[in-house]
Amino acid sequence: MNTNYVIFDKISIGIFIIDSHYRVLFWNKVLESWTGISRKIIVGKDICGFFEKFQDEKIRSRLDSVFSFGAPVIFSSQLHKYTIPSRLPNGRYRLQQTMVTSIEDEKNKGIFHAIFSIQDVSDLTEKAIQYKHMNKQIEIKNRQLILTRERLIKSENNLQQMVDFTNDAVVIIQNNLFVYFNKAFVEMLKSDIQSLADLTFEDLQSEEFTINFATLTKMVHSGKIYKVQLDLTDQKNNTINVEAKFQKTTYKGKKAVLGIFMDISEKITLLKLLQKEESDNIKKGKLITICASCHHVKEFDGEKYTWVSIENYLSTISGKEISHGICNHCFKEKYPDYYEKYSQTHKSSHKSDDGSKKNKKNF
């Protein structure tokens, strides 16, 4: 063995040298470690006796260019996996990138030997595979994201269509301006898109009752739905009574207020009519209005409405005196202990709650 080759023991890659007869001239320490084959055993022997792949014509024809004219040869890990089979501690074969270069024989000019430099690329390949896998995962996630975004745009479009079809006026207000409004809103205000685009939220409200945008923003940003009745003014200066609901939203990535207006002008007119009719009926004595809670009666004294006790009212209209007693039902409910005692001592004629027995005494 050429003693100059020993320098290859200092390099951390697998190196061996063969002549054109495939006889091993050198075998370095790294290869001893990888294969368990010592230099003493392999040097001087035909490498085909140790590794069958060197009998393969497709390897030999490549190596011919090294031996015949000294051109380098590469055996990549992608197309060959490995040149010298050796296992890693995890049992897998070591992936190898092999470069074969030529070295001219010291004594015989024009005779080339082949130096195999074998780099262990298992770790590198593993990392490349992991990187690719990671990239693929990112790609899948990106595709899902694009799909979700497309669906979101589609559903936003659908929602917009639905909003356009609804009878309620829907708006989005940002910085006091109507950045979005549906057809119903335009129709409600008897306006046009261009005019509305230039108006502020405050411009639309009648002078009597106004909520400014700052207050509105404060109300909705607490997170609750803010309900309020507003008087809006249409383009012909008519007042429109609306029931409005506001809540916070985002529009094109910025904070905004979503508003839904329901025109209640007709409802309010009807309510006013009913109130007038009720008032007229009370005046004419056709209707008695009794408080649902205290049972006081609404009375018109010729000038104004007052609430009087039912006793006073009945006494006034009937001209009779009024006295108080307690019925069996209330006695039993309000004073159960007295009722029990009373029932036992007065077992004479007594009317029951449902009136089924006739021989009980009434109070």
Partner 1 sequence: MQISDREIEIFQEMINIGIGRAGATLNQILSTHIELNVPHISVLSLPDYLKQTKKENEIFSAVEMGFDGPFPGAAHLIFSNKSAAQLVSALVGDEVKNDEIDEIKSGTLSEIGNILLNSVMGSISNILQDHFNYSVVEYMEGTLKNLIERSFRETTLLIIAETNFYIQEMEIDGQIAILMTLKSFEIMEKAIGKII
The site for partner 1 (CB under 8 A) is made up of 57-58, 61-62, 65, 68-80, 97, 99, 101, 121, 124-125, 128, 131-132, 135
Nearer to partner 1, 99 or 211 (CB): 99
Region of residue 145 (left: phi > 0; alpha: psi -120 to 50; beta: else): alpha
Nearer to partner 1, 106 or 280 (CB): 106
What lies within 8 Å, CB to CB, of 122 at 6+ separation is: 88, 92, 94, 95
Which pair of structure tokens corresponds to residue 160?
A: 């917009």
Nearer to partner 1, 74 or 290 (CB): 74
What lies within 8 Å, CB to CB, of 208 at 6+ separation is: 231
- Dihedral sign computed on CA atoms, order 104, 106, 110, 114: negative
Nearer to partner 1, 68 or 160 (CB): 68
Residue 59 C-beta: closest distance to partner 1, Å: 9
Nearer to partner 1, 1 or 124 (CB): 124
Residue 21 C-beta: closest distance to partner 1, Å: 21
Tracing tokens 């390897």 back to the chain, one arrives at 59
Nearer to partner 1, 133 or 227 (CB): 133
List Cα–Cα distances, 309 to 125, 232, 299, in angstroms.
97, 42, 10
Nearer to partner 1, 119 or 200 (CB): 119
Residue 58 C-beta: closest distance to partner 1, Å: 4
Which pair of structure tokens corresponds to residue 342?
A: 């009373």
Nearer to partner 1, 125 or 289 (CB): 125
Residue 136 C-beta: closest distance to partner 1, Å: 8
- Beta-strand runs (E) in the chain: 14-18, 24-27, 73-75, 96-104, 112-120, 169-174, 177-181, 226-233, 239-251, 254-263, 289-290, 297-300, 305-308
Residue 197 C-beta: closest distance to partner 1, Å: 45
Residue 18 C-beta: closest distance to partner 1, Å: 18
Residue 93 C-beta: closest distance to partner 1, Å: 16
Distance in angstroms (rounded) separating the CA atoms of residues 259 and 226: 9
List b or e across 325-341, with b for residues whose CB sees 16 or more CB atoms inside 10 angstroms: eeebeebbeeeeeebee
Residue 125 C-beta: closest distance to partner 1, Å: 6
Query: Which one, of 345, 342, 348, lies nearest residue 359 by Cα?
Result: 348
List Cα–Cα distances, 292 to 104, 105, 288, 298, 346, in angstroms.
119, 121, 12, 11, 36
